[in-house]
């Protein structure tokens, strides 16, 4: 008898002006494509809610979205920092702690990767426009995010490199913030040519992967995007 599809909690963005909780359809499409059942999560969740979800669901995808409030990593708001959602920040930090406690697989994309790093004690660059870099890589690419815009180099021996079977990827880029210092318990698993951290993962080998690019938008053009989502869904399927 075939086991039911893994149930994956998917975090959403807040559109406060319109009173909406929303998510780009590409995330749901990617999870459905790889045989998972995506479940959109509310913006407001208590600690008890997060604990229940971490017991009941098989994994979590922390999606991209607006900036995280700088107070969460001990900084003042700098010029270049954009809009943020108090409800989303609060809920996702609670949810991450609960999911991690239950050892549930976690895939984090763009903002999600930054949130994971902050939750574990790391920090981020509030705006890459103020960061001195050897190459002027366009981390906010000037064309469609469904097309790659720069390459990343993967760390040999990392879980991400083993999953993808490659050490150099063509990725898209749609961010103005990035991880500055990897948190304790995380290791860097990919870098852009200008040295910006593009992926982190759990140092203990558990399935906690954060990528700065948007694999959900590369599903049709890049095999590595499909391999990442399939590996995530498989781990969710096989985690008690």
Q: Which band of pLDDT confidence, cut at 50, 70 and 90, is reported for residue 1?
A: very low
Catalytic residue among 14, 198, 201, 216: 216
CB contact set of 169 (below 8 Å; sequence gap of 6+): 151, 152, 154, 190, 222, 224
pLDDT at 167 over 60: yes
Residues 6+ apart with CB under 8 A from 240: none
Is it the case that residue 240 has pLDDT exceeding 80?
no
By mean pLDDT, which of 4-8, 20-24, 161-165 is the weakest? 20-24
> Cα separations (Å) of 235 from 1, 29, 63?
19, 18, 18
Is 36 a member of any domain? Answer: yes
Average pLDDT of 42-52? 97
Q: Do residues 186 and 203 make contact, with C-beta atoms less than 8 angstroms apart?
A: yes
239: which residues sit within 8 A by CB, 6+ positions away? 58, 59, 103, 104, 105, 207
Domain assignment present for 127? yes
**Predicted local distance difference test score (pLDDT) of residue 98:** 98
Residue 65, domain member (yes or no): yes
CA angle 233, 229, 12 (to 5 degrees): 90
**Using one digit for the tens of pLDDT, what is the confidence trace for 76-112?**
999 988 889 999 999 999 999 999 999 999 999 999 9
Residue 128 inside a domain? The answer is: yes
Structural tokens at position 121: 């004690």
Is 126 in contact with 80 (CB distance < 8 Å)? yes
**Per the residue annotation, which of 139, 175, 214, 224 is the catalytic one?**
214
Distance CA 193, CA 224 (A): 19
What's the number of domains the chain is made of? Answer: 1
Residues contacting residue 18 through CB under 8 Å, at least 6 positions apart: none
| Contacts of residue 198, Cβ cutoff 8 Å, sequence gap at least 6 | 152, 171, 178, 190, 191, 192, 211, 212, 213
Share of residues in the chain with pLDDT > 90 (%): 91
What does pTM read for this prediction?
0.97
Residue 109 placed within a domain: yes
Q: What is the mean pLDDT of residues 153-177?
A: 97
Q: Is residue 214 flagged as an active site residue? A: yes
CA distance 202 to 192: 19
Considering the domain boundaries, does residue 1 fall inside one? Answer: no
Question: What mean pLDDT, rounded, does the chain reach?
Answer: 96
Q: What is the CATH number of the domain that holds 206?
A: 3.40.50.880
pLDDT in the model for residue 19: 84
Three-state SS for 174?
strand
| Residue 8, pLDDT above cutoff 90 | yes
Residue 2 is assigned to a structural domain of this protein: no
Q: Is residue 26 part of a domain?
A: yes
Residue 236 known to be catalytic: no
Residue 17 reports pLDDT greater than 90: no
Q: Is 216 one of the catalytic residues?
A: yes
Domain of 198 in residue numbering reads as: 7-237
- 110, 150, 198, 236: which one is catalytic? 110
For residue 232, is pLDDT > 60?
yes
pLDDT at 65: 95
Question: Is the predicted pLDDT of residue 2 greater than 70, yes or no?
Answer: no
């Amino acid at each position: 008898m075939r086991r039911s599809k893994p149930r994956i909690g998917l975090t959403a963005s807040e559109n406060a002006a319109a009173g909406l909780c929303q998510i780009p359809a590409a995330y749901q499409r990617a999870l459905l494509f790889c045989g998972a059942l995506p479940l959109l999560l509310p913006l407001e969740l208590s600690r008890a809610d997060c604990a229940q979800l971490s017991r009941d669901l098989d994994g979590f995808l922390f999606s991209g979205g607006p900036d995280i409030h700088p107070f969460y990593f001990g900084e003042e708001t700098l010029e270049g920092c954009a809009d943020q959602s108090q409800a989303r920040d609060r809920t996702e930090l609670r949810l991450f702690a609960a999911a991690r406690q239950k050892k549930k697989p976690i895939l984090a994309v763009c903002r999600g990767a930054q949130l994971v790093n902050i939750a574990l004690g790391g920090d981020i660059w509030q705006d890459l426009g103020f960061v001195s870099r050897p190459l002027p890589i366009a981390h906010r690419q000037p064309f469609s995010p469904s097309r790659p815009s720069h390459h990343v180099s993967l760390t040999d021996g990392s879980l991400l490199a083993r999953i993808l079977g490659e050490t150099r990827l063509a990725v898209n880029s749609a961010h103005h913030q990035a991880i500055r210092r990897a948190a304790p318990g995380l290791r860097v698993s990919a870098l852009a040519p200008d040295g910006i951290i593009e992926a982190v993962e759990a140092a203990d080998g558990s399935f906690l992967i954060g990528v700065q690019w948007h694999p959900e938008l590369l599903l049709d053009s890049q095999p590595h995007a499909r391999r990442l989502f399939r590996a995530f869904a498989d781990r969710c399927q096989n985690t008690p």
